Amino acid sequence: MKKDFISLADFSPQEQSDLLDLAVALKAEQRAGKAQPRLAGKTLAMVFQKPSLRTRVSFEISMHQLGGKALYIAPEEIQLGKRESVPDVARVLSRYVDGIMARVFSHQDLLTMAQWASIPVINGLSDYNHPCQAMADLLTIREHLGTLRGVRLVYLGDGNNVLHSLMAAAANAGMQLVAAVPDGYKPLPEVVAWAQTRAQQTGAQIELVEDARSAVRGADMLYTDTWTSMGQEAEAAVRRQVFPPYQINAQLLALAKPGAGVMHCLPAHRGEEITDEVADGAQSWLFDQAENRMHAEKAVLVRILGDSG
Ligand code: CP
Ligand code: NVA
């Protein structure tokens, strides 16, 4: 049966941990200057409904370095669901390439794509979640702290796609995740419930609070994302009124553990969810995270497109 990469909730704690180990190995291999032709001759179609820097470049370069080829398909080309239906796109692409990575507005479109494609589908972000980002985030935390189990990650801001994947990832990895989110912008209750149930198996702690200042005490790292995700632009002015207490700035960071890391999936809206001082400061892990997108995605690609699985 084909394997998709749609949500970390589809993966057991062991499978997620194995994937992370593979990412660590692939990163070390590349750092040592070794060739990585694990996907020689394989092809990946990259379907985008939204803009991207990291996802587009990291997947394309990953496929290149693994000996395969990636094809970028811009939003206006396919016009997913408008020029052609999602099932038709999925079936046509399945005749040409070995895998599809898609960035979509509606998560349902991704599920439909996976249902109709005879080849693996990778989630490059939907309105619901962003699992490739969460895998890169875990890799970054593990590199900086040496472990995931028990570390305290405090997320500040919008209960969005990035937080949904972070919750699933943290629950699988046995981490403490505190999400400080204002009323009206909470993550979906079913995502929180799933993570809290998984946490009972792994020893993780998943907590939802509102007050940013009390949440950050004892944090090993702080994490934030844009207040206005792609597709929510009409709400930007309202959101700019709600979210300022959740900004990661020097004052808030000072309340966390000394030397606590600062994380952001990027792109950053400097002066909104994060200040320049913090984003460019000594505690920033932002560009390690961006780099680790590539290493984490290589592991996903090798696992689901590779012949050895
Ligand atoms: N973090 C992330 O997914 O970045 P892009 O939107 O640039 O791909
Ligand atoms: N939450 C953001 C993440 C961007 C990588 C968005 O969906 O726009």
pLDDT of 33 strictly over 70: yes
pLDDT of 308 strictly over 70: no
If you ran DSSP here, which 8-state letter would residue 188 be given? P
* Triad 256, 134, 47: Cα angle to 5°: 145
User: Residue 103: in which H helix or E strand, if any?
Assistant: strand 99-103
Residue count of the chain, please give it.
309
137 shares its domain with 285: yes
Active site residue 130: yes
Active site residue 31: no
Q: 227-262, pLDDT tens digit by residue? A: 999 999 999 999 999 999 999 999 999 999 999 999
Considering 109, 127, 158, 225, which one is annotated as catalytic? 225
User: Residue 43: in which H helix or E strand, if any?
Assistant: strand 43-48
Task: Tell me if 2 is assigned to some domain.
Answer: no
CATH number, domain of 142, equals 3.40.50.1370
Terminal C-alpha separation, the chain = 11
- Average pLDDT (35-61) is 98
- Average pLDDT (23-48) is 97
State the DSSP string of 189-204: HHHHHHHHHHHHHHT-
Considering 16, 133, 247, 289, which one is annotated as catalytic? 133
Kindly report the pTM of this predicted structure: 0.98
Q: 173-204, pLDDT tens digit by residue? A: 999 999 999 999 999 999 999 999 999 999 99
pLDDT of 309 strictly over 70: no
91 shares its domain with 236: no
List the one residue out of 138, 180, 122 whose CA is nearest residue 5: 122
Task: Tell me if 39 is assigned to some domain.
Answer: yes
Domains of the chain: total: 2
User: Percent of the chain having pLDDT more than 70?
Assistant: 99
Task: Tell me if 3 is assigned to some domain.
Answer: no
Active site residue 225: yes
Residue of 52, 110, 125 to mutate, ligand 2, most atoms within 8 A of C-beta: 125
How big is the chain by its Cα radius of gyration, in Å?
Answer: 19
Q: How far is the CA of 1 from the centre of ligand 2 (A)?
A: 31
What dihedral angle (degrees, nearest 10) is formed by the CA atoms of 25, 27, 30, 34? 0
Q: How far is the CA of 51 from the centre of ligand 2 (A)?
A: 10
Structural domain for 222, as ranges: 133-289
**What tokens were used for 309?**
């699985």
Helix, strand, coil percentages in the chain from 3-state DSSP, rounded to 5: 45, 15, 35
